[in-house]
Amino acid sequence: MKVVIIGGGTAGLATATKLRRLDENAEIVILERSAEFAVSNCALPYYLSGQIARRENLIGISAEGLKSRYNITVRTNCEVIDIDRQEKTLKLAGKDDEPYDKLVIATGAVQLRPDIAGILSEKVFTIKSLGSIDKIKDFIEYNKPGRAVILGGGFIGIETAEALARLGIKILIIEAGNHILPFLDADTAAPVQQEAERHGIKVFTGDSIVSFGDEDVRLSNGSRLKYDMAVVATGVRPDVKLPVLAGIELGDNGGIAVNEQMQTSDSNIYAVGDTVEIGNLTTGQKELRYNASLSIKEAACAAAALAGKKCHFSPIAGTSVTPVFDLTAASAGCNEALLQKSGIAYKKLHLWSRTSSPQMDDASEILLKLLFAENGKILGLQGVGKYGVDKRIDVAAQIIRKQGDFADLENAEIAYAPAYASAFDAINQLGSLAGSVLNGSLKLIMPEELDLIREKAMLIDIREPKAFAQKHLDGAINLPLYAIRQNLDSIPHDKMVIVYCMHGRGSYHAAILLKNRGFDNVYMLSGGMKLYDLVHDTYFNKKG
């Protein structure tokens, strides 16, 4: 059996090596259209910043090494221009046809380059390969740019912005959406944007670039921004030119449609990696995911099928993570936008917690946002903090994969020692809070809802008078937690009552206390004053 793999990136390489471990006799050939092979594209921004010093560290294995270790043939600078499914041959640019018995398409994704005037300027770049990074590094070395504009505030845009900022370049991010990092919701993205701004990056949301001039870019709102270089990071799309030419079925999102064995509509052709659509556990729908870890799992399944073994690529929970200077932002499952798009009803809550025991001097704060269904099923979790975010997100991802509910969070076993977690970890606290919401013990008001209803409600700050005097929400009265039982007569039964504190811990106890004393119209401000201020300071209290 001769297996030809189109694409020498993570997915193609993983398919080839897994297949070799399953079948020593198969002839395996990888065709890569560029001169680059086995490059870790996810690490490109870190090479740009110098955090990865050696270019060689981004290359997993050489073509020669793959041949000697696995007996796999790699041909670089070998572009496939068409697939003849009838004859089972590949048409190559300037080379003889390549026959196959089985074919794997692992062509990855292509960088979107919008049709914007001036975008082909020599000082406008994209992040797509080692060669593209080399061009940026050369430009910086010889031109010493002082200001860079980044078009797009997603993964690539944020990571590139940080990389260039570390090189001493002033950064301006232009994001068409209402917040950066769209895998998060706006509220959890707020502390990430503030972290970027704390490091000198200016963020413009709800705007786009309409032209790149010689010295400035023009925005859709008519304003102009000076720049010395720009990076277009408006996202990627599956590279499906070959499947389209060959008449292979695509999915609703523009990726290749595959079954659970990663097999396309042609039984002799498989597809893996960023080109394919995969199932989402929560929505039940197909989606595109650009993730090297998933690519490797897809590759293992395709290789097993090619070797005649049983395989089954299951729908995913979906995880994302990225560093932003001193913070980590991560998620598992769905965000609000995806749930709304899928027509899935949900509840939500926020939690400020610690990633280690509060007694530890280096205990770090973490913000978590939980999305869950009326029946308690966990739909998604987002987290932002300095340490331990990825750990909590990984736990939630496994619970989502098992279709777990709030009780699974509350009872999750988390490795405990004061240096690593609280005895009742943030994950357990989330489950407990969700349980209180579901059984009616706790009602929540979201930060974005407060301004719409505050005049109709009594707003009670339950902190100490000294903290209240330093700062409080407009219209609030101060009734410390320790004094609530002695002042029940001053709290109305016929009016909405909203209790809050800085983080939500004290106000939770206040809300439960009042509920147990017969007050049925009491709400807690989710995320406390800290989250409310974060959201307002990021999106409403300033321009640009």
Q: Which residues are catalytic?
A: 501
Q: Which two tokens stand for residue 353?
A: 């917690």
Whole-Å CA distances, 297 to 2, 16, 27, 292, 303: 22, 13, 22, 9, 10
Q: How far apart are CA 520 and CA 324, in angstroms?
A: 42
Q: Which two tokens stand for residue 390?
A: 């990825």
Q: Which two tokens stand for residue 539?
A: 């999106």
Alpha helices, DSSP H, located in 411-504: 426-438, 447-453, 465-470
Q: DSSP secondary structure string, 473-495? A: -TTEEE--GGGSGGGGGGS-SSS
Q: Which two tokens stand for residue 109?
A: 């994704």
Which helix H or strand E contains 170, and what residues bound it? strand 170-175
Picking from 274, 301, 296, the residue whose alpha carbon sits closest to that of residue 287 is 274
371 phi/psi in degrees, rounded to 5: -115, 130
Q: Which residue has the tokens 């090596």?
A: 17
Residue type present at position 508: Y
Rounded to 5°, the CA angle 301-304-310 comes to 90
